[in-house]
Chains A and B, each alone.
Chain A
Amino acid sequence: MASQLNFKELQELAAEILGIDPDQVQMDKSFQRDLAADSLDLVELIAAIEDKYDVELPDSELENMKVIGDLWKFLEQKTAERLEA
């Protein structure tokens, strides 16, 4: 199920792109406020996530994501949908 997702991998991916330590990437952290991600960072992060998780992350979805946890929930949902299909 969704547990096939590995949060550590997401931490490492986001940390690489945002130039921070993986430990800073936590569920309750805001992309912009806590992780200092600007709009260019987010474009790069979206591309990397789409590639890694084979998902499409439309701008409309991203607008609703305020913290890492929101992104994680989205990925869990997509993984679950795929397993059910």
Chain B
Amino acid sequence: MTSNHNGRRVAVTGMGFITPIGNDLETVWSNMIEGVSGVGLITRFDTALFDTKIAAEVKGFNAEEYMDRKTARHIGRYCQFALAASKQALAHANLDPSQMDPDDVGVIVSSGIGGMEEIEKSHTNLIERGPKRISPFTVPMMIADMAAGIVAIHTKAGGPNYAIVSACASSTHGIGEASEIIKRGDAVAMIAGGSEATITPLTMGAFCQIKATSERNDEPEKACRPFDLGRDGFVMGEGSVMFVLEDMDHAKQRGAPILAEIAGYGASADMYHFTAPQPEGKGAMRAMRRALENSGVDPKEVGYVNAHGTSTKLGDVAETKAIKSVFGEHARELAVSSTKSTHGHLLGAAGAIEAAACVLALERGLLPPTINLDDPDPECDLDYVPNKARKADINVAISNSFGFGGHNATVVIKKAPSGANN
């Protein structure tokens, strides 16, 4: 994999957010920095029979603020999130694909699962009322590629268009591959990110059955505690974060705001187990190494790692080992945090919100904390920016994402080139 095709570089020029910690950039960043948890009791269904009764739900989202009533009614919740976040991102970037050559702007919306709620509702109709009462919108609502299609229809972005599915690594792969599309010249800009809406009875029940989700139901805001001995599993989140990624020269020529640079990305497979990470983090290590190589970044330049850090024992320890292996002595100098502690685990959108955390950390010189880190696991002995944000003038950040199936992806993000916004 070579990244610097024709010397093209990739700028981040816009971001949009529908998340458990806010539905606009400034609210999300404020909550991330202040360590305000988005986790609460599940309101979307009756959890009486479920071991886990908590999740990080999107709050105050009105789809009709972003689309007409008919569209809102006929697309799945995860597609609604993606369209809303994409429109925010385009407005932020001041980019209007309808005024451009349709080939110039593409869309990748990654999702780990797709329209789960809609599958469940239609299945219930099938069982209770028969096949003639299955919604005719079931197929378009459930398929995991539909958000990319919907975003193109409503923004007139006619370039490369698809979804990437790699469970909880989906949107890191998505952002990485979208950058490669720009570098190889197949699009001038990409609307890229992830979306997920899986706080549903079947999904939550299934994760409960494998004891993957936290059951700290009496203290929801303390439930997600990466790297802490008191953790008892991840906390399901939902939402969408979308980026406008753009050829750096194109962005400069039109005077767009340049928030950061996507320098490169790397991907690997664990080749180990379908849900558990390789215990030494060997797959994660190879993804990080490849990402740094592709970006032409020396590991010592990295000041911040946004960890996958899901708040599971196996995952937190394996990632810590991988970071130590990649960075050597420098692992003791760089900062690592898991913002999942505030926003929960957005599955296929996790990599997108976490890449956004890196962009904002670089732009604003502030590192978001890992909250609820009161009693560190002795096997997790790095600087996880415990509980309080910290000022830090860093030049390079990386975001890690690892998914069931053993998929690993790391994206390398650099501070915007000096003078880019003058």
**Chain A residues within CB distance 8 Å of chain B:** 18-20, 36, 39-41, 43-44, 47, 51
CA distance A40 to B70 in the complex (A): 12
**Chain B residues within CB distance 8 Å of chain A:** 68-74, 132-133, 135-137, 140
* Number of A-B contacts defined by CB within 8 Å: 24
A47 and B74 contact, Cβ closer than 8 Å, known pairs A19-B68, A19-B69: no
B68-A47 in contact (CB<8A): no
B137-A47 in contact (CB<8A): no
A19-B74 in contact (CB<8A): yes
Closest Cβ of chain B to A58, distance in Å, is 12
Closest Cβ of chain A to B24, distance in Å, is 26
Closest Cβ of chain A to B141, distance in Å, is 10
B132-A47 in contact (CB<8A): yes
CA distance A13 to B71 in the complex (A): 17
CA distance A13 to B273 in the complex (A): 51
A interface, over-half SS: helix
B132-A19 in contact (CB<8A): no
Closest Cβ of chain B to A48, distance in Å, is 10
B73-A19 in contact (CB<8A): yes
B135-A18 in contact (CB<8A): no
The chain A residue with its CB closest to the CB of B73 is: A19
CA distance A41 to B73 in the complex (A): 11
CA distance A36 to B72 in the complex (A): 15
A44-B132 in contact (CB<8A): no
CB neighbours (8 Å) of B73 from chain A are 19
B70-A18 in contact (CB<8A): yes
CA distance A43 to B133 in the complex (A): 9
CA distance A39 to B74 in the complex (A): 13
6 A–B contact pairs at CB < 8 A? A19-B68, A19-B70, A20-B70, A39-B136, A40-B136, A51-B133
CB neighbours (8 Å) of A47 from chain B are 132-133
CA distance A51 to B137 in the complex (A): 18
CA distance A72 to B71 in the complex (A): 26
A44-B69 in contact (CB<8A): no
Name 4 extra pairs, CB < 8 A, besides A43-B136, A51-B133.
A40-B136, A40-B140, A44-B137, A47-B133
Closest Cβ of chain A to B124, distance in Å, is 15
Closest Cβ of chain B to A82, distance in Å, is 21
CA distance A44 to B72 in the complex (A): 15
Closest Cβ of chain A to B33, distance in Å, is 39
